Amino acid sequence: MSNGRRGRRSESNLGPSNEAAAFRGVILIVVASVLGILLLWKGIDGPNPETNVSSNNLSTTTIAESDQDGSGDTEGDSENPDGSLVTEDTTTTTTTTLFPPTPPSEVTVLVANGSGIAGGAGTVTDSLIAQGYTAKDPANAIPTDETGIYFRTGMSQEAREIQELLAPGFADILLQMPEELEVPDSTVERVAESDIVIILGSDGVILSE
Query: What's the rounded Cα separation, in Å, for the pair 102 and 154?
Result: 10
Residues sharing a CB contact under 8 Å with residue 95, sequence separation 6 or more, in sequence order:
none
Which residue did the predictor score with more confidence, 192 or 31?
192
The verdict on residue 137 lying in a domain is yes
Please state the domain count of the chain.
Answer: 2
The residue with greater pLDDT, 72 or 122, is 122
What pLDDT does 101 receive? 82
DSSP state of 71: T
Q: Is residue 71 part of a domain?
A: no
The pLDDT of residue 201 is above 90? yes
> What residues are paired with 111 via a beta bridge?
198
**What is the sign, positive or negative, of the torsion defined by CA atoms of 134, 139, 141, 143?**
positive
Regarding pTM above 0.85, the answer is no
Q: Residue 5: its pLDDT value, please? A: 47
What CATH number does residue 133 fall under?
3.30.70.2390
In a domain, 56, yes or no: no
The mean predicted confidence, pLDDT, of the chain is: 77
Give how far Cα 97 sits from Cα of 132, 157, 159, 208, Å. Answer: 22, 12, 17, 36
Q: Which domain holds residue 156?
A: 104-200
Would 81 be classed as within a structural domain? no
pLDDT single digits (tens) 175-188: 999 999 999 999 99
Question: Of 24-38, 93-107, 180-194, which gets the smallest average pLDDT?
Answer: 93-107
pLDDT at 158: 97
| DSSP per-residue letters across 193-206 | T-SEEEEE-TT-SS
Q: Is the pLDDT score of 8 beyond 60?
A: no
- Opening angle at CA 99, ends 98 and 100, nearest 5: 110
Assess if residue 180 is contained within a domain.
Answer: yes
181: in domain: yes
Establish if 67 belongs to a structural domain: no
Q: What is the pLDDT of residue 66?
A: 43
3-state secondary structure of 145: coil
Q: Write down the pLDDT at residue 62.
A: 44
Residues 116 and 143 sit within 8 Å (Cβ to Cβ): yes
Give the span between the Cα atoms of 194 and 136, in whole angstroms. 8
**CA 28/CA 22 separation, integer angstroms:** 10
Is the domain of 186 the same as that of 108? yes
pLDDT greater than 60 at residue 37: yes
Residue at 97 is within a domain:
no
Is 90 exceeded by the pLDDT of residue 75? no
Q: Are residues 108 and 187 in the same domain?
A: yes
